[in-house]
């Protein structure tokens, strides 16, 4: 954390001289897929304010971490959890992660599913209801779904075993099918009828319903809710441009965009 704050302070100190620098190569930023809309907007805003281009790569956070470990040149990593950036920091060469925004789980359901927050667990446990999730370890969304299953066990014995056995890992894995160009992953999965209920981030659920209006969103009740803390890190030897972009992401304008897309404050 101290290292990250130091780098941000250095970046802010250098901001005043940034306008005199020659335009640099695009800054490689790797980010969780759930940040696609918000971070694309933030990057566009930042590019309009500076001479720095941002090269965004989106995907499941765990898979992105693996690609970074294998030598890909990300300078900034925005993950849907803190575990994956912390693993980079522990290996060395990356700053300790800082939480920069938050999300939560929602249930995205097909039109024929009638569920409320109070009946959501019973709906998930129905033998005729197919429950879709992302892939644990590869994608934090899947890890959060399994954390919800563990909370369900505390409310109703046998829930974890049942949900663990029936959950369909439809997205977020290395071999998961990709949606057609222009389609959102979760809207496409539900539109194709691959699941009756999909546990995903609320921001994803809202975007999916916007794409496929017949889909419904059910809020996860407090006793089952799992909060998602998003972690941000950058390379210890990252160029000043990386620190400046991170500082902008953490600034009020950057945070305002995240909130506009449904994310919470750190």
- Could you read off the pLDDT of 46-90 as tens digits, one per residue? 999 998 999 999 999 999 999 999 999 999 999 999 999 999 999
Average pLDDT of every residue of the chain: 93
Q: Are 49 and 29 in contact, with CB atoms under 8 Å apart?
A: no
Considering the domain architecture, whether residues 96 and 117 belong to the same structural domain is answered as: no
Question: Between β-strands 98-109 and 227-234, what pairing exists: parallel, antiparallel or unpaired?
Answer: antiparallel
Give dist(CA 208, CA 189) in Å, integer: 10
Please tell me the predicted confidence (pLDDT) of residue 14: 41
Residue 208 lies in a domain: yes
The confidence score (pLDDT) of residue 17 equals 39
pLDDT for 177 beyond 50 = yes
Residues 248 and 183 in one domain: no
pLDDT score at 1: 47
Residue 214 predicted with pLDDT over 60: yes
Q: Is residue 266 part of a domain?
A: no
Claim to verify: residue 92 and residue 164 sit in the same structural domain: no
pLDDT band at 156 (very low <50, low <70, confident <90, very high): very high
CATH of the domain at 197: 3.40.190.10
Give the pLDDT confidence of 121-148 residue by residue, as tens digits.
999 999 999 999 999 999 999 999 999 9
Lookup: tokens for 66: 């693996």
pTM of the full structure: 0.90
- Say if residue 120's pLDDT is above 50: yes
Quick check: 179 and 185 in contact, CB under 8 A?
Answer: yes
With bands split at pLDDT 50, 70 and 90, how would you rate the model's confidence at 263? very high
pLDDT for 4 equals: 55
pLDDT given for residue 18 in this prediction: 42
Sign (positive or negative) of CA dihedral 226, 229, 230, 235: negative
Residue 14 included in any domain: yes
% of the chain with per-residue pLDDT over 90 = 91
Structure confidence at residue 6 (pLDDT): 42
Do 116 and 165 belong to one domain? yes
Residues 13 and 25 in one domain: yes
- Nearest Cα to Cα of residue 142 among 178, 123, 160, 167: 167
> How many folded domains does the chain comprise?
2
> Using CB atoms within 10 A of its CB, is residue 1 exposed (0-12), middle (13-18) or buried (19+)?
exposed
At residue 105, the pLDDT reads: 98
Average pLDDT over residues 211-218: 98
**Span 5-46, pLDDT tens digits:** 445 554 443 443 343 344 579 999 999 999 999 999 999 999
Residue ranges making up the domain that contains 250? 2-102+228-260
Shared domain for 132 and 98, answered yes or no, is no
């Amino acid at each position: 954390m101290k290292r990250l704050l130091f780098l941000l302070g250095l970046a802010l100190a250098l901001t005043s001289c940034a306008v005199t620098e020659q335009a640099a190569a695009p800054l490689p930023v790797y980010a969780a897929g759930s940040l696609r809309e918000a971070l694309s907007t933030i990057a566009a805003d930042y590019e309009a304010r500076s001479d720095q281009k941002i090269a965004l790569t989106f995907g499941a956070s765990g898979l992105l971490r693996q690609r970074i470990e294998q030598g890909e040149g990300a300078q900034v990593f925005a993950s849907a959890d803190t575990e994956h950036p912390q693993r980079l920091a522990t290996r060395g060469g990356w700053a300790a992660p800082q939480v920069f925004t938050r999300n939560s789980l929602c249930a995205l359901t097909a039109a024929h599913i009638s569920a409320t927050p109070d009946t959501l667990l019973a709906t998930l446990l129905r033998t005729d209801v197919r429950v879709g999730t992302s892939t644990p370890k590869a994608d934090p969304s899947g890890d959060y779904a399994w954390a919800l299953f563990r909370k369900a066990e505390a409310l109703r014995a046998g829930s974890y075993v049942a949900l663990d056995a029936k959950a369909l890992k439809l997205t977020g894995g290395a071999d998961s099918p990709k949606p057609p160009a222009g389609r959102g992953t979760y809207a496409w999965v539900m539109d194709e009828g691959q699941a009756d209920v999909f546990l995903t981030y609320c921001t994803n659920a809202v975007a999916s319903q916007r794409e496929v209006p017949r889909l419904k969103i059910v809020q996860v009740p407090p006793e089952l809710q799992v909060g998602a803390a998003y972690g941000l890190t950058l390379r210890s030897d990252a160029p000043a441009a990386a620190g400046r972009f991170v500082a902008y992401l953490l600034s009020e304008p950057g945070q305002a965009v995240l909130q506009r897309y449904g994310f919470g404050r750190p």
